[in-house]
Structure formats: structure tokens, C-alpha cells
């Protein structure tokens, strides 16, 4: 590195390769604080009415390319609280009513109370932790490796 008398971070900026310079001119995808599916949550939270029909392309317009499982497995669109995508619509106060994967369309309906969920204690919604039980606790089946 040539010492130009500037601060080190300025010197690093001078040494970008052509590929780096080309990539800097391309837009950088925005990551929302609410995670990858935050834009879906924001969109649904700001939507009036009690029913929203969206094409998969419209969802992808918010979050980028959906995983292949969204096109193949109905369970991906489930209303269970584990996956990030489901938390997005559930937190916004919506549920998936139906999915037509052949057409590439999902219908959301507003949850019964119509209110976004609030989580006062994140530990209350955390997934349970699996623990080993001792053989003396009456556990049946094969022992887990230590």
C-alpha cells in the first residue's frame, strides 16, 4: 500500500479492484431490521381490509426470490409460529387462508382480533430446548450419545 498521507480507511478506498468498483455501482439489497420477511409484515400491517390476495411474484417483489419450498410445499405457507416467513404475517395480524401453488397465489386474511401481535417477553415465545433425561427418569428408547 502506498502511503498517501491520508488515513488508512481512505487508502483502502483507493485500492478497490475493478470488480469491486463495478459492484459498488450496483444497488445493494436493503435488509430490513425485521429480517428477510420484514417487508411482508410491513406491507400487510399497512393494508386495509380483511382479505389480501397476492401472487408469489408480488411477494417476491417485497422480499426477493422465494425458496423453492414455497412453490412446492403447502407447509411453507403454514400459520405456525416457528419459521421467519410465518412470523412476518402473524406478527402483522394476518393468517394464510389459502395457497394455490399451481397458479402461484396466496390469500391472507386478517386474524380474528385484527391486531398485530406484540411480544412482551421474547423468552415466552422461544422454542423449547431439548434436554437429556437420565435413565433413572424412566426414559424409554435408545440413549442419546453424550
The per-residue pLDDT for range 62-111, each reduced to its tens digit, is 999 999 999 999 999 999 988 899 999 999 999 999 999 999 999 999 98
End-to-end Cα spacing for the chain: 51
Predicted local distance difference test score (pLDDT) of residue 35: 81
Instruction: Provide the mean pLDDT of the chain.
Output: 73
The band of 58, judged by pLDDT with boundaries at 50, 70 and 90, is very high
- Which string of b and e fits 94-119 if b means at least 16 CB within 10 Å? bbbeebeeeebbbebebbeeeeeeee
The band of 112, judged by pLDDT with boundaries at 50, 70 and 90, is confident
Across the chain, the runs of DSSP E, i.e. the strands, are 51-55, 94-100, 105-110
Predicted local distance difference test score (pLDDT) of residue 119: 45
pTM: 0.57
Strand 94-100 to 51-55 pairing = unpaired
How do residues 96-107 score in pLDDT, each as one tens digit? Answer: 999 999 999 999
Predicted local distance difference test score (pLDDT) of residue 18: 55
Domain ranges, ordered by start, for the chain: 31-117
Q: What sign has the CA pseudo-torsion 32, 33, 36, 41?
A: negative
How do residues 15-53 score in pLDDT, each as one tens digit? Answer: 545 555 555 555 544 444 458 899 999 999 999 999 999
The band of 57, judged by pLDDT with boundaries at 50, 70 and 90, is very high
How do residues 121-131 score in pLDDT, each as one tens digit? Answer: 344 344 434 44
Nearest to 42 by CA among 72, 62, 23: 62
Nearest to 70 by CA among 81, 83, 82: 83
Residues 119 and 145: their CA atoms lie apart, in Å, by: 36
Using the structure block, give the residue that is written with the C-alpha cell 401481535: 117
Amino acid at each position: 500500500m502506498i502511503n498517501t498521507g491520508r488515513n488508512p480507511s481512505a487508502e483502502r478506498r483507493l485500492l478497490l479492484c475493478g470488480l469491486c468498483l463495478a459492484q459498488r455501482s450496483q444497488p445493494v439489497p436493503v435488509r430490513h431490521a425485521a429480517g428477510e420477511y420484514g417487508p411482508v409484515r410491513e406491507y400487510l400491517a399497512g393494508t386495509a381490509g380483511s382479505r389480501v390476495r397476492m401472487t408469489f411474484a408480488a411477494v417476491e417483489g417485497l422480499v426477493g426470490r422465494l425458496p423453492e419450498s414455497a412453490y412446492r410445499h403447502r407447509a411453507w405457507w403454514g400459520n405456525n409460529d416457528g419459521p421467519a416467513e410465518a412470523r412476518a404475517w402473524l406478527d402483522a395480524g394476518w393468517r394464510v387462508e389459502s395457497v394455490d401453488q399451481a397458479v402461484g397465489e396466496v390469500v391472507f386474511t386478517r386474524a380474528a382480533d385484527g391486531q398485530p401481535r406484540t411480544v412482551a417477553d421474547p423468552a415466552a415465545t422461544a422454542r423449547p430446548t431439548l434436554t437429556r433425561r437420565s435413565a433413572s427418569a424412566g426414559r424409554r428408547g435408545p440413549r442419546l450419545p453424550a
